[in-house]
A and B are shown apart, each in its own frame.
Chain A
Amino acid sequence: MKILVPIKRVVDYNVKVRVKPDGSGVDTANVKMSMNPFDEIAVEEAVRLREKGLATEIVAVSCGVAGCQETLRTALALGADRAILVETDVELQPLAVAKLLKAVVSDEKPDLVILGKQAIDDDANQTGQMLAALLDWPQATFASKVDLAGGNATVKREVDGGLETVEVKLPAIVTTDLRLNEPRYATLPNIMKAKKKSLVTTTPAALAVDVTPRLVTLKVVEPAKRKGGGRVADVKELVAKLRNEAKIIA
């Protein structure tokens, strides 16, 4: 069984992003980039499925600038067997990524695609669902547990207020939620080995996909700053303020 793991290169989780003064976007020049944390969970899940003997090959794929190679190398160091980069300098929106992935799926014919539920840069939470739609495959989003058996995947999903179990026929799309697993660290020997694994590059044109953005970003601003910093001396004052000043409790 083959698993395809799409991954995204994003501004590192720990970086405090700054909005560009001209409001055209967020400043990503010379900012530390890393693999989207939800995608790390996806890679980890794929590696665990292979370790359990349920998968035989893991192919990592990323769409974007040449720098994504570095992120793919990370995936290879974590255990992916080979990698594909769909290289473009065009700003890719989720629909375009889903179309590129559909093309890759047609070539690779994986039995399962596991990817993060959302990327921590655009926070769109769309790509997996869109890919499922384009392929007419079932989707199991926000997974917190994945079991494979008999051509089906049984997935526990995080839903508002609890968990839901969904059974999908393979091939299918699974998107990962935080609780699915805790990703491992790449080991030093695996980092060294990753360099020797195959990483092939293709382009949207070669895949015959039009990636023109459909949404135009008119401006980006920083959130309004809260005043904050108010203090109260004790519980009595707190309750009085909540009652009389904020008028928020009875």
Chain B
Amino acid sequence: MTTLIIAEHDNAALRSATAHAVGAASKIGGDIHVLVAGSGAAAAAAEAAKLAGVGKVLLADASYLASPTAENIAATALSLLPGAYSHVVVAATGFGKNVTPRIAAKLDVAQVSDVTSIESPDTFVRPIYAGNAFATVQSKDPIKVVTIRTTGFDAAPSTGNAPVETIPAAPDTGLSKITGQELTKSERPELTSARIVISGGRGLGSGENFKILEALADKLKAAIGASRAAVDAGYVPNDYQVGQTGKIVAPDLYIAIGISGAIQHLAGMKDSKVIVAINKDPEAPIFQIADYGLVGDLFEIVPAFTAELG
């Protein structure tokens, strides 16, 4: 029984999601191999090799993998897979969601998406209906292909020392080409991996007013998110959105400011370990799930909160 993990990285460094995938794979048991497909990705491969539990890192290096497409990553993974692996585990990030089903279909096996808990090597728990229910599913396929929620599994520590083996990359499929990237510039941690998330809602009243969250976020080294209402109102870009149709987060601390707590928003943050809610409406549903609710004017409370942190 061996699990293949497809690493997510930017060639220079491994993304933390991969460590969570290794953490998840450890729950399955058996050996763990990590595929690092990229261009000049030796540094990322070296990082992967340190993850506890990893038995081997497979480095596929080719110029056309510098900005890898789903088609090319899948092709290289598929060149390794048949017969050799019992499981494929990929973090359910934008990258993993894009690539993994392509692999599953080529193997003619089902995929289990967004796994939050592994019950046994063939049985997984995953949320359905935006987290309003959890299904335990069993795969009857010879190879189990799963994507995992990073918030469901601890990251493997960097205490290992696995060998890195270079393998040939599959030829360029030529089906698609990445021609540009516009990354939202931010000094802040990424929303889905931040330890602390501060989200603003329609209560902020404008995009300009989101600035008062920034001072607090700076103090707490927090990521900033938003409710769909705030995104719809145009206060902040779409990729700030936490919720059913946006990002699912489960930080150690989630601070909801001026967010009433529509069910669609709750679906995206209710697994946070500690929830703080600040809202002027004492009846706002967000208070029902908050560990610490504070009723009042956010425009007074947030600056006071920032000041209190010293």
Contact = CB atoms under 8 A, between A and B. Distances in A.
Contacts of A238: 276, 292, 294, 305
A136 B130 CA distance: 31
Contact of A122 (B95, B98, B128, B290): B128
Interface stretch (B26-34, B49-57, B134-142): B134-142
Given A230-B290, A235-B308, A139 B70 contact: yes
A19 to B, nearest CB: 5
A167 B67 CA distance: 13
Interface stretch (B37-45, B58-66, B110-118, B151-159): B110-118
Chain A's interface: helix, strand, loop or mixed, by majority?
mixed
Contact of A215 (B110, B129, B238, B239): B110
A121 B246 CA distance: 15
Interface string B212-240: 00000000100000000000000000110
A166 to B, nearest CB: 5
A109 interface: no
Contacts of A236: 308
B274 A246 contact: yes
B253 interface: yes
A19 B129 CA distance: 10
A241 B308 CA distance: 13
Nearest to A96: B110
B253 A220 contact: no
Given A95-B104, A222-B133, A138 B71 contact: yes
A130 to B, nearest CB: 4
A75 to B, nearest CB: 20
Interface stretch (B160-168, B178-186, B199-207): B178-186
Contact of A221 (B134, B253, B304, B305): B134
A93 B110 contact: yes
Contacts of B301: 235
Contacts of A232: 292-294
Contacts of A248: 196, 252-253, 273-274
Interface in B251-310: 252-253, 263, 270, 273-276, 287-295, 301, 304-305, 308-309
Contact of A242 (B137, B184, B246, B292): B292
Nearest to A23: B136
A51 interface: no
A219 B135 contact: yes
A206 interface: no
Contact of B132 (A17, A128, A233): A17
Residue among A37, A239, A241 with the highest chain B CB neighbour number at 10 A: A239
Interface in A204-250: 214-223, 226-236, 238-239, 241-242, 246, 248-249
Q: How large is the interface on B (under 10, 10 to 19, 20 to 34, 35 or more residues)?
A: 35 or more
A125 B97 contact: yes
Interface string A154-191: 10001111111111110010000011000000000000
A249 to B, nearest CB: 7
A167 B177 contact: yes
Contacts of B95: 159-160
B94 to A, nearest CB: 4
Contact of A239 (B98, B112, B135, B308): B308
Nearest to B270: A226
Contacts of A227: 291
A17 B97 contact: no
B93 interface: yes
B304 A217 contact: no
27 contacts: A19-B133, A26-B133, A95-B104, A120-B130, A120-B244, A127-B101, A130-B101, A130-B104, A132-B71, A133-B105, A134-B106, A137-B175, A158-B238, A163-B181, A163-B183, A164-B181, A166-B69, A178-B238, A178-B246, A214-B110, A214-B140, A214-B141, A223-B127, A223-B132, A228-B275, A231-B295, A232-B292
Interface of A: 11, 16-17, 19, 25-26, 37, 93-95, 98, 120-134, 136-142, 144, 154, 158-169, 172, 178-179, 214-223, 226-236, 238-239, 241-242, 246, 248-249
Given A94-B111, A166-B177, A214-B141, 7 more contacts: A26-B129, A162-B181, A165-B182, A178-B246, A226-B270, A230-B290, A249-B309
